[in-house]
Chain A
């Protein structure tokens, strides 16, 4: 696909600035004349988040319900996806897609795994309809169904940098259609064969931020309204 390189760079800069403001040591990639920074000795990207007054997520009973399971750092340590789409906007679009199809959504935060396949499957198991959506903070998304094998899925969006707000809306819509038992045409696959060269290091750093926020004892918590 065609990528507007300038736009990508601008977004990347914005994300890095934001990450740095939040205290991350994000390696610069542009300037050639900087002195080598030493990362040795640092053992975390972010301080550990302490959740108070959280409610453990329970299994829903409404057959119209679709559960959206978000990553451990979602809207707390990380506020936008790998290309800078605000996570508030991501959620708003997924939920709008679900509602357009006449279904209802519930958002939970997954604190016992950062693997998007398992996040989505666990969400599906909590969901009244048996359909769940897992969204990592960097933007990677899976639509899952409660009785499928963990590493398979209904639809997988493995390349977070290609996601747009519109894709998230379509994901919400398709998840709702699966829940209704309709014959669903999956969202067309997209592919940027250079995605690894451009984004993999950043993806690794963002995933570290997510993974170090895991709190398996809390498991899955209700996330609507909680911050």
Chain B
């Protein structure tokens, strides 16, 4: 066939490098409604749920049972289930029914009913729902802080810059798992060098992550994964009960914690039981609610390549974010994983959370160039900072970030690097040279930094854990090395777990270490003239992007 030059040009477009697949319910490649999804139903006898979505109690798998016993208000179930799904869908979108009333209705419905409700909503309605149902009044944002070399100095510097740019939470992970203690300690120090009150976590294997948390080297946890089918749980040697237990372990030490789920994981692991991604994700979110954790990171997350490959997949993603908010959970709404070669497509996907605002629009945003993002690439990275700031300004939307000056960036990066150097020296860990601090201060990513002795670092990190180093040791090291202000900040972060207020739904801390959560600053949106509006000092900050025309220079 003689080829059309137009079609040839189109074939070369970035979007055509993305993966797309037809719907295939038998293998779970179906976004919102599978012919095999159950119809909603419930039966309550003597206060016990004896039938859930067409299944009798004796046929329950452990997920059904956990949901029936802990996630649904049996006393409200019959009343809520009697309201037609379309009517609930309309209440979610209207500007008459307050958030609290919706939460009450939702507390008595089943996962299949939830999926049915979401299926009635188009993307704009899903966004309107999110605008009303988000827990915290002011939206927030979270960063990924990682690099290819697991260089602790770069982690500290990027954390400081990220905090300066406005992120309320920062998450790291490792290339080499045994680097975890160094990454955690560097992130803890660096974050406070950029802006006081930023929360930090280190996403690694669950037992290690818990130990880092208990020692005060992290200030929240997020990587407690739940799945929508029993088989995937069993493969991971887990149950909803073990996840609830793990969550309680964090709670017992006063640490903020959220679960992680997201559509597509059951497909990727080959165990979707022919159900739609939305229905399976509803099951995950009900489990999260039942486990008593305050929040969730969801929105397909690391399986976004699967969800985005099927029709209505991106609609499903904001749909599952809304399900989290409807259950009263804090929602850290993904946008944290690259999924498209097309700049247009990746931006459009993010607008669905950016415009209504979520508790954390990204979970997280790569605050380093994507080649350094050890979560295999985020949807936005450090090179998109100015684009993002312009989007906030264009639309008068608070996306959680702010423009910064080069001088500030260099200052906080150096401070973070120097502080890590001092702490490592004080605690007898591997050496951080002046040259390393200098390189990292001015670096964009790990291509610009010096090589570290990895084998020595790993031995030292291991030794640090064996010696029982805790957050208090970090405070002491900083205080005795001349970094009193940073020491004070980290001590204040450790105090949070004694105070406990930041365990409330959707809590973040301001730079005075005051909690802002869905409890003390709840979202009160109810149509025009209500809810959070970008104004005053915050609007002035958003307006002040770099590269504005200076009329005096004309």
Known: A32-B7, A193-B376. A27 touches B339 (CB 8 A): no
Q: Which secondary structure dominates chain A's binding surface?
A: loop
Q: Does any Cβ of A come within 8 Å of B426's Cβ? A: no
Q: Does any Cβ of A come within 8 Å of B348's Cβ? A: no
8 Å CB contact of A30 from B11, B26, B372: B11
Q: How many residues of B contact A (CB 8 A)?
A: 62
Q: Distance (Å) between the CB of A8 and the closest chain B CB? A: 9
Q: Is there an interface contact between A197 and B339, defined as CB atoms closer than 8 Å?
A: yes
Q: How far is the CA of A37 from the CA of B29 in the complex (A)?
A: 14
Q: Does any Cβ of B come within 8 Å of A4's Cβ? A: no
Q: Does any Cβ of A come within 8 Å of B20's Cβ? A: yes
Q: Distance (Å) between the CB of B21 and the closest chain A CB? A: 5
8 Å CB contact of B19 from A42, A188, A190, A202: A202
Q: How far is the CA of A192 from the CA of B264 in the complex (A)?
A: 21
Q: Does any Cβ of A come within 8 Å of B435's Cβ? A: no
Q: Distance (Å) between the CB of B451 and the closest chain A CB? A: 10
Q: Distance (Å) between the CB of A153 and the closest chain B CB? A: 6
8 Å CB contact of B455 from A1, A185, A194: A185
Known: A184-B455, A191-B376, A196-B305. A211 touches B271 (CB 8 A): yes
Q: Is there an interface contact between B208 and A149, defined as CB atoms closer than 8 Å?
A: yes
Q: Does any Cβ of A come within 8 Å of B377's Cβ? A: yes
Q: Does any Cβ of B come within 8 Å of A77's Cβ? A: no
Contact with A along B264-275 (1 / 0, CB 8 A): 100111110000
List B contacts of A36 (CB < 8 A): 22
Q: Distance (Å) between the CB of B62 and the closest chain A CB? A: 18
Q: How far is the CA of A149 from the CA of B177 in the complex (A)?
A: 12
Query: Which among B78-86, B199-207, B541-549 touches the partner chain?
Result: B199-207
Q: Distance (Å) between the CB of B32 and the closest chain A CB? A: 16
Q: Is there an interface contact between A197 and B340, defined as CB atoms closer than 8 Å?
A: yes
Query: Which residues of A204-227 have CB atoms within 8 Å of chain B's CB atoms?
Result: 204, 207-208, 210-212
Query: Which residues of A19-35 have CB atoms within 8 Å of chain B's CB atoms?
Result: 27, 29-30, 32
Q: How far is the CA of A30 from the CA of B3 in the complex (A)?
A: 14
Q: Is there an interface contact between A37 and B22, defined as CB atoms closer than 8 Å?
A: yes
Query: Which residues of A153-209 have CB atoms within 8 Å of chain B's CB atoms?
Result: 153-156, 158-159, 183-186, 188-204, 207-208
Q: How far is the CA of A188 from the CA of B305 in the complex (A)?
A: 26
Q: Distance (Å) between the CB of A58 and the closest chain B CB? A: 23
Query: Which residues of B155-207 have CB atoms within 8 Å of chain A's CB atoms?
Result: 175-178, 204-207
Q: Can you give 15 contacting A-B residue pairs, CB < 8 Å?
A: A29-B16, A29-B19, A149-B206, A152-B204, A153-B177, A189-B374, A191-B148, A191-B371, A191-B376, A195-B376, A200-B268, A203-B268, A204-B270, A204-B306, A211-B271
User: Which 5 residue pairs are nearest across A and B when measured between Cβ atoms?
Assistant: A193-B377, A200-B305, A189-B175, A211-B270, A201-B19
